[in-house]
């Protein structure tokens, strides 16, 4: 019996650690396994994407382009694959067509072979420019269907999308199931229709979150799928992907063959199992099967990010409320699939709605832009009243959003100036301006330093440290629940906890090295009356829009805060005159503080 070849893409170097350890795997910890990975027989290795690029610059202080070149050299026999957000590239906004062209060309030049290109709204107009650029570079352009479940999504609609991408020149079609929502039945139907209609290879990328992915993989193979994504078992399961080795073994007595060498996979996976321990502080709590995703539809990467973000807000206990709010926000926005950047847009707005205790009291700038049409066409009609409120008197956008974005590379080059020593640096700056600037300055000054890794806990010391306890001070008792902590920086450490159920941020600063106690944020009075403008989330002040003496109307934006990678306008709580402004651009603020006083 001739066996049909099933090609495997391993996501160990990108999606797997993104889903399980907040994208923190360092290049130095990838390299020792590369020889095994390169010889195992993979069709491709996914190794680059928005979150890996971001984490490199923001936390690891690595040059993401250098990572790509290093992996290219370490993996000479295997295709390298990346995930590209269409006109968003790896950032959180739409770029001018010239930036898209330059980014794809540089990625190809530095060693990328396969570009999996998607748009969060499945609006194919947002894929046009990048597919064209990949073809121009002579590389593999993969058109992607972001799979989601909603009253307006069905297999015929996905088939139409796939045809449109084929017409644009896509070399293959990927089904991207971010949240593990695919069922075996739908998988068989969708793969069958794609294979019957198009003469292109079909890839399946299905997350293990809900526990259905291995069944979907099997159904897909029976329906004619050509490629399947898996993760080495050391980083498989949970919100990551089904294990590579299990699939290889499962096919032994069946009509399919992966061609992968199980012994080499075993070596690599044993290595990664040890390496994973180094990153214990970033472990997602969602590393088992979680069937609540079937209702919340929250994809893997988003789940661990949300958990981390809520931890930082000292509000991890609200995660269930956030999961309940997400489907409601999603409906209001016309059922976008939940994938970057819509997952952040929907997720952050849901967090704000929950923490503020009132829905859409503040609306993030991204939700406003989304409702205006800057991200493309929503799959279904959006909530008209919300749209009117968010967009105000400005025009709605009907055409391909990038048509309205002028070429911007020259301007970006000017902005970053001498800090860029190569065109790649300009593109890094284009993706994440603030983080890239900090990175490039530190590189210039020779002060690059990755965020610290906490030591691996010794075995046999009694398991995890207690995070819940009672303290008694001056005769008063408090229930403390520590929900998160930042590493020490500038002699100061920040803890997030609830005290009798109320979220608090606590700063510990050492007095012995000259620091006076207290933190850099805080020190402001607590909000006690209606005219006290405060925030529902800790964050940084991006802009202050009022000054003392200004007259404001209730609902007027008075400041812009950045929290969880999103900018949000904070609005005047009442109409009146501004009596005091207690913040400046760049300040760190926490909930409950008076930021602006209106009377």
Instruction: Between 191 and 595, name the residue whose CB sits nearer to Mn ion.
Output: 191
- The residues, ordered by sequence, that sit 6+ positions from 95 with a Cβ below 8 Å of its Cβ are 87, 88, 89, 103, 402, 405, 408, 430
CB of 9 to Mn ion, least distance (A): 11
CB of 119 to Mn ion, least distance (A): 15
Instruction: Between 301 and 334, name the residue whose CB sits nearer to Mn ion.
Output: 301
Reduce the DSSP state of residue 415 to 3 states and report it.
helix
Instruction: Between 15 and 226, name the residue whose CB sits nearer to Mn ion.
Output: 15
Contact call for residue 226 and Mn ion (CB under 5 A): no
CB of 293 to Mn ion, least distance (A): 13
CB 116 within 8 A of CB 144: yes
Nearest to 428 by CA among 26, 14, 66, 141: 66
Q: What is the 3-state secondary structure (H, E, C) of 435-465?
A: HHHHHHHHHHHCCCCCCCCCCCCCCCCCCCC
CB 68 within 8 A of CB 80: yes
b/e map of 458-489 (b: 16 or more CB within 10 Å)? eeeeeeeeeeeeeeeeeeeeeebbbbbbeeee
Q: Which of residues 6-35 bind Mn ion (CB under 5 A)?
A: 15
CB of 6 to Mn ion, least distance (A): 19
CB of 207 to Mn ion, least distance (A): 6
Q: What distance in Å separates the CA atoms of residue 512 and residue 516, rounded to the nearest whole number?
A: 9
Instruction: Between 15 and 63, name the residue whose CB sits nearer to Mn ion.
Output: 15
Q: What distance in Å separates the CA atoms of residue 147 and residue 153, rounded to the nearest whole number?
A: 8
560's enclosing H/E stretch is strand 557-563
Radius of gyration of the chain (CA): 24
Instruction: Between 33 and 231, name the residue whose CB sits nearer to Mn ion.
Output: 231
Instruction: Between 15 and 97, name the residue whose CB sits nearer to Mn ion.
Output: 15
User: Residues, the chain, total?
Assistant: 599
Instruction: Between 38 and 177, name the residue whose CB sits nearer to Mn ion.
Output: 177
CB 24 within 8 A of CB 279: yes
Extended strands (E) in 361-467: none
CB of 436 to Mn ion, least distance (A): 24
CB of 48 to Mn ion, least distance (A): 13
CB 148 within 8 A of CB 106: no
Closest-approach residue to Mn ion (CB): 15
CB of 282 to Mn ion, least distance (A): 17
Instruction: Between 51 and 561, name the residue whose CB sits nearer to Mn ion.
Output: 51
Size of the site for Mn ion (CB under 5 A): 1
CB of 15 to Mn ion, least distance (A): 4
Instruction: Between 48 and 439, name the residue whose CB sits nearer to Mn ion.
Output: 48
Q: Contact residues for Mn ion (CB under 5 A)?
A: 15
């Amino acid at each position: 019996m001739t066996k049909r070849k099933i090609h495997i893409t391993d996501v160990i170097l990108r999606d797997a650690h993104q889903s399980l350890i907040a994208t923190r795997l360092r290049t130095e910890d990838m390299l020792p396994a590369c020889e095994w990975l390169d010889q195992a027989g993979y069709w491709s290795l996914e190794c680059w994407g928005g979150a890996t690029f971001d984490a490199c610059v923001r936390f690891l202080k690595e040059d993401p382009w250098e990572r790509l070149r290093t992996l290219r050299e370490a993996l000479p026999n295997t295709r390298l694959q990346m995930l590209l957000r269409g006109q968003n590239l790896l950032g959180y906004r739409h770029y001018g067509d010239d930036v898209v062209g330059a980014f794809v060309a540089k990625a190809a030049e530095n060693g990328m072979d396969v570009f999996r290109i998607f748009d969060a709204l499945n609006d194919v107009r947002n894929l046009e420019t990048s597919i064209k650029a990949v073809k121009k570079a002579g590389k593999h352009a993969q058109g992607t269907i972001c799979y989601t479940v909603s009253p307006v999504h069905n297999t015929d609609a996905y088939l139409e999308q796939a045809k449109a991408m084929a017409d644009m020149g896509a070399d293959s079609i990927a089904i991207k199931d971010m949240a593990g929502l695919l069922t075996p039945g739908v998988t068989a139907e969708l793969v069958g229709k794609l294979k019957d209609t198009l003469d292109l290879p079909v890839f399946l990328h299905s997350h293990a979150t809900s526990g259905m992915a291995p069944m979907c993989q099997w159904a897909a193979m029976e329906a004619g799928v050509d490629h399947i994504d898996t993760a080495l078992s050391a980083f498989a399961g949970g919100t990551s992907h089904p294990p590579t080795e299990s699939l290889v073994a499962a096919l032994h007595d069946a009509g399919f063959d992966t061609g992968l060498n199980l012994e080499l996979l075993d070596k690599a996976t044993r290595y990664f199992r040890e390496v994973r321990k180094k990153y214990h502080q970033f472990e997602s709590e969602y590393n088992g099967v979680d069937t609540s995703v079937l209702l919340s539809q929250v994809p893997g990467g988003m789940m661990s990010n949300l958990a981390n973000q809520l931890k930082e807000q000292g509000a991890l206990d609200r995660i269930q409320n956030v999961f309940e709010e997400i489907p409601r926000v999603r409906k209001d926005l016309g059922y976008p699939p939940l994938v970057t950047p819509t997952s952040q847009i929907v997720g952050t707005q849901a967090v704000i709605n929950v923490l503020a205790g009132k829905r859409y009291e503040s609306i993030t700038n991204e939700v406003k832009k989304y409702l205006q049409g800057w991200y493309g066409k929503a799959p279904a009609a959006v909530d008209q009243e919300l749209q009117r409120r968010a967009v105000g008197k400005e025009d709605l956008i009907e055409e391909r959003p990038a048509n309205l974005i002028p070429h911007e590379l020259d301007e970006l080059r000017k902005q970053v100036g001498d800090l860029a020593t190569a065109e790649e640096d300009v593109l890094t700056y284009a993706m994440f301006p603030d983080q890239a600037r900090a990175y490039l300055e530190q590189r210039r000054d020779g002060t690059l330093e990755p965020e610290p890794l906490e030591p691996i806990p010794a075995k046999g010391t009694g398991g995890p440290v207690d995070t819940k306890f009672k303290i008694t001070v001056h005769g008063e008792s408090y229930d403390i629940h520590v929900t998160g902590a930042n590493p020490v920086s500038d002699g100061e450490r920040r803890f997030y906890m609830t005290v009798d159920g109320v979220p608090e941020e606590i700063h510990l600063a050492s007095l012995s090295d000259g620091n006076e106690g207290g933190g850099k944020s805080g020190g402001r009075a607590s909000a006690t009356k209606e005219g006290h403008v405060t925030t529902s989330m800790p964050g940084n002040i991006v802009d202050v829009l009022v000054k003392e003496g200004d007259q404001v109307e209730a609902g007027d934006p008075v400041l812009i805060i950045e929290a969880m990678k999103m900018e949000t306008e904070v609005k005047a709580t009442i109409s009146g005159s501004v009596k005091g402004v207690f913040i400046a651009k760049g300040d760190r603020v926490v909930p409950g503080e008076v930021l602006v006083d209106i009377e």
